[in-house]
Amino acid sequence: MKMIQARNLYKSFGTHRVLDNVNFEVNIGEVVVIIGPSGSGKSTLLRCFNGLEEIDSGVITIEGESFAHKDPGKKDKVTSKEKKEIAVKLGMVFQHFNLFPHKTVLENVIEAPITVSKINKSEAVSMAEALLDKVGLSDKKNSFPSKISGGQKQRVAIARALGMNPDIMLFDEPTSSLDPELVGEVQKVIIDLAREKMTMLIVTHEMRFAEEVADRIIFMDEGKIIADEKPDRIFNNPEHPRIKTFIDKITMRQSNRQE
Amino acid sequence: MENYIQYVIDSSVFILKGSVLTIQLYFVTILFSIPLGISLALMKISKYRFLRISIGFYTWVFRGTPLLLQLFFCYYGLSIFGINLPAFTAAALTFTINYSAYLTEIYRAGIESVDKGQYEASKALNMNYFQTMKRIILPQVVRRTIPATCNEAITLVKDTALVVVIGMGDLLRSAKELFSRDFAITPFAIAAVVYLLMTTVIVYFFRKIEIKYSIYE
């Protein structure tokens, strides 16, 4: 089954075109990683799938249901009520975590299940405890976000998104604002999710991680999808010279950093 | 000496009786203007242009003219149009509307200081506008605006003295009456102590809330 389908997506910020006829799809259980230079439209694309950004035109389908259907200059054919019902199926993890600072780790995870999904508190707590256990943070459940490390924050954010029981997880540069030694613990949680066949769409600059976790890699540049291939093809034998330059540059930087 | 102590006690009782009205006016104003300030702040940043402009006009007028003038207007001015409000009602109304204007701007700035990532996270978790405001944004706003709200709460204690101009008897007026009768400075000293006591309680109270809300930092 197609979990996400994007057809002819266009979007501009002012005169700057950030999505330029984007077409791709994500199958069930598939992990798709989006890479590309800064400003190439990767994050914007991701944010269009849960309504944090609106496309100018095109069609987005989530699990076979229309999530956005816009002709140029026209109103969206999908109502905001319909969008909300579909958006429940997607969880999102942000570069800057965006945890709720006034709530403990546990409260962060149970907040939406209780207020949005209306499940009772004891049920929410036991589910949240299981999720925190899964991301290795059971012992931090009563800490406030200000008292834990960046890597721990991001793992809480993943648990919080999973708390809404999504079918698809979106990751927007989940390790970009972490200290290098904390990147691994977050990547491990994402790799575990991939093993459980969670459908995921991930924007990242970590090439080794991309190669390890991805079933397919999408390379974006200037709002266009330049390549949509298996990882080994992208990393070892890219068709487009632009991809090779980008990967060489970024892997050189990342191996320098590790030395 | 004994006579003087008795004089201080008698004067204090008289002044404290006068302060009952001050305290009543104080609580009515605080109880109404804080929720009103929060609601108007939300309207001032809403997507509806009409609301934004109306609230902007309101804060412009009420922050831009003297409280004393507003009090005159509400008590004497409205009577020209046949609206005769009792003095306490006129005072409570004026103070509430005036203080709400200042609080609106304080809370508006507080709401705008919350990182937009908080809204995005709430939206990504499918929380609606009211859930996001009530559960996520406003608790953080309250924490950030405690010092500014405390300032307003202290200023209000002293502003209540303005009600003498519409003929109401309050703490300060009682002290002034004693001064006129006895030509002694003691009543003013007592009035100062009562004001200080009230502001001390308020500062202590706000400090407590601040500590309670600060545990997450």
The C-alpha R_g of chain B, in whole angstroms, comes to 21
Query: What mean pLDDT is predicted for residues B168-181?
Result: 82
CB contact under 8 A, B118 and A98: yes
The answer to whether residue B1 scores a pLDDT higher than 80 is no
Name the band, by pLDDT with cuts 50, 70 and 90, for residue A22: very high
Buried b (16+ CB within 10 A) or exposed e, A52-66: bbebebbbbbbbeeb
- Integer Cα distance of A142 and B216 in angstroms: 11
Q: Write the Ramachandran bin of A205: left for phi over 0, alpha for psi from -120 to 50, otherwise beta.
A: alpha
Q: Give the 3-state secondary structure of residue A41.
A: coil
Q: How far is B136 from chain A (nearest CA, A)?
A: 7
Confidence (pLDDT) at A62 = 95
Name the band, by pLDDT with cuts 50, 70 and 90, for residue B104: very high
* Out of A128-132, A208-212, A233-237, B109-113, least confident range: A233-237
Cβ proximity of B141 and B110 under 8 Å: yes
**CA proximity to A62, closest of A214, A184, A170, A157:** A170
CB contact under 8 A, B124 and A145: no
pLDDT tens digits, one per residue of A186-244 = 999 999 999 999 999 999 999 999 999 999 999 999 999 999 999 988 888 888 888 88
H-run or E-run covering B71: helix B67-72
B126 touches chain A (CB under 8 A): yes
**CA proximity to B44, closest of B114, B101, B99:** B101
Confidence (pLDDT) at A257 = 65
Cβ proximity of A47 and A53 under 8 Å: yes
Confidence (pLDDT) at A67 = 94
Which of B123, B126, B141 should one mutate to test binding to chain A, selecting the residue with the greatest count of A CBs within 10 A?
B126
- According to CATH, the superfamily of the domain at B2-216 is MetI-like (1.10.3720.10)
Task: Locate the chain B residue with the closest alpha carbon to A144.
Answer: B216
Strand duo A168-172 + A90-93: pairing: parallel
Buried b (16+ CB within 10 A) or exposed e, A29-45: ebbbbbbbbeebbbbbb
Q: Tell me the two tokens of residue B95.
A: 């103070």
Q: Which amino acid is at B101?
A: A
Q: Tell me the two tokens of residue B74.
A: 């509400």
Confidence (pLDDT) at B135 = 96
Query: What mean pLDDT is predicted for residues B43-58?
Result: 94
Question: Which residue is associated with the tokens 């079918």?
Answer: A167
Q: Tell me the two tokens of residue B70.
A: 């507003």
* Out of A53-57, A109-113, A255-259, B108-112, least confident range: A255-259
Query: What mean pLDDT is predicted for residues B41-58?
Result: 95
Strand order through the sheet with A65-70:
A16-27, A2-13, A57-62, A65-70
Q: How far is A195 from chain B (nearest CA, A)?
A: 24
CB contact under 8 A, B216 and A88: no
Task: Locate the chain B residue with the closest alpha carbon to A170.
Answer: B124
Query: What mean pLDDT is predicted for residues A88-105?
Result: 95
Confidence (pLDDT) at A239 = 82
pLDDT tens digits, one per residue of B131-172 = 999 999 999 999 999 999 999 999 999 898 888 888 787 788
Contacts of A103 in chain B (CB under 8 A): 216
Confidence (pLDDT) at A259 = 53
CB contact under 8 A, B131 and A84: no
The answer to whether residue B204 scores a pLDDT higher than 90 is yes
Beta-carbon contacts of residue A61 (< 8 Å; ≥ 6 apart): A2, A4, A5, A7, A67
Contacts of B117 in chain A (CB under 8 A): 94, 96-98
CB contact under 8 A, A102 and B140: yes
The answer to whether residue A133 scores a pLDDT higher than 90 is yes
Confidence (pLDDT) at A194 = 95
The C-alpha R_g of chain A, in whole angstroms, comes to 18
* Out of A2-11, A229-238, A245-254, B15-24, least confident range: A245-254
Interface of B with A in 55-94 (CB under 8 A): none
Contacts of B216 in chain A (CB under 8 A): 101-103, 144-146
Confidence (pLDDT) at B99 = 97
Q: Smallest Cβ distance to B120: which of A52, A144, A160? A: A52
Q: How far apart are the first and last CA of chain A?
A: 43
- Integer Cα distance of B108 and B102 in angstroms: 10
Cβ proximity of B188 and B177 under 8 Å: no
Q: How far is B132 from chain A (nearest CA, A)?
A: 10
A73: number of Cβ within 10 Å: 7
Average pLDDT, chain B: 91
More confident residue, A251 or A243: A243
Contacts of A88 in chain B (CB under 8 A): 126
Cβ proximity of B108 and B44 under 8 Å: yes
Q: Smallest Cβ distance to A112: which of B127, B139, B216? A: B127
Confidence (pLDDT) at A237 = 81
Cβ proximity of A26 and A2 under 8 Å: yes
